[in-house]
Amino acid sequence: MPDPDQQPYISVRNFTLRNNERVVLDNINLNIFPGEVVAIVGESGGGKTTFGRSLDGWTEGGGAWHRVAGEILVRGVDTRNMDPKILVRRVRRLLQDLTIIPGSIFKNVAIAPKLAFGIRHGMWRQRFAAYLRKQPRPVTPLDMRVEQALRWVGLWDAVCNDLSKSAEDLSGGQRQRICLARTLAYRSPALILDEATSALDAATKLIVLETLRNLKQVSGQIIILITHDEDFAAALATRVVRFDHGRVVADGLPQAVLKNKSTKRGHVQPLQLDLDLPRPDLKQLQFDLPTPAGAR
């Protein structure tokens, strides 16, 4: 049984979202706890991607999107009342349409900690002194952050001697892993992967799978997988939520949700599945970040 004193990191309560006149998410209720790997599955158009966009505040930008009812809480704060710069540090989404930034491999990964935390190379005196003496420049905190992110996605050995190379010259699978490394470099406590393996070959998909397994074991980071690949979900997730027509129709252990044919399209009554899931201790959430002074 989960610890009754443990609070969810993300809490979605009676959330209904409309796009123009069409309801795309209908009365969603979900709690996501530290350390969980939650796979969001379902047919195209079922609301999976829109749900992920709602978690990181993307649908709060106005336009055609309108929150009809409910709330999304991250660490107990409604996302509507949270500075977007703080929200992106707490919930980070890797998009379906991956974008390589024109420039080097290093730049593509380093831009994340630069923008989110203001991490720079620093150590200017030491670096300048090394340049004058024709010595290797000292390793900076930014260098270490980039290296770790590239190691997580299994690219460091392939690119470590050529970080100045244009990322646009890499293969499709390598570019996707660069984008994953950039997202991981934020070190957000909650990571949303929206069809992150859709364009990968089988070998690269296994590397990403192993990367995410390692993250799950060593960091306690929340991983939310939005995917059509139910085999990938079964291999990694501790919990599976099935969406259909904007509703949650099943929520439980992977073997229960993925093998139960009655959770497929056309059945919109939520199933009573086993929700007695293990909850890792909150202290395992090593990616959690202090709230800057004055922020909510």
Per-residue pLDDT band at 290 (split at 50, 70, 90): very low
Question: What pLDDT score was predicted for residue 217?
Answer: 74
Mean pLDDT score across all residues of the chain? 78
pLDDT in tens, 154-188: 789 999 999 999 999 998 778 878 888 888 887 78
d(CA 261, CA 270): 13
Asked which of 25-29, 113-117, 291-295 is least confident by mean pLDDT, the reply is 291-295
8 A C-beta contact, residue 25 and residue 50: yes
Which segment, 94-98, 126-130, 256-260, 263-267, is predicted with the most confidence on average?
256-260
Whole-prediction pTM: 0.76
Quickly state the pLDDT bin for 95 (edges 50, 70, 90).
Answer: low
- Rounded CA-CA distance 190/205 in Å is 21
Amino acid letter, 243: F
- Cβ proximity of 252 and 192 under 8 Å: no
- Taking the CA atoms of 135, 140, 143 and 149 in sequence, report the sign of the dihedral they define: positive
pLDDT in the model for residue 98? 66
Per-domain residue ranges of the chain: 10-284
Interval 221-272: pLDDT, tens: 899 999 988 888 898 899 999 999 999 999 999 988 988 755 554 443 443 3
pLDDT band at 141 (very low <50, low <70, confident <90, very high): confident
Predicted local distance difference test score (pLDDT) of residue 133: 60
- The 10s digit of each residue's pLDDT in 209-222 is 777 887 777 667 89
Instruction: Report the distance separating Cα 17 and Cα 3, nearest Å.
Output: 31
Query: What count of residues does the chain have?
Result: 296
In CATH, the number for domain 10-284 is 3.40.50.300
pLDDT greater than 60 at residue 115: yes
CB atoms within 10 A of CB 85: 11
- The encoded tokens of residue 8 equal 């969810």
Q: Do residues 250 and 241 lie in contact, with contact meaning Cβ atoms separated by under 8 Å?
A: yes
The residue type found at 74 is: V
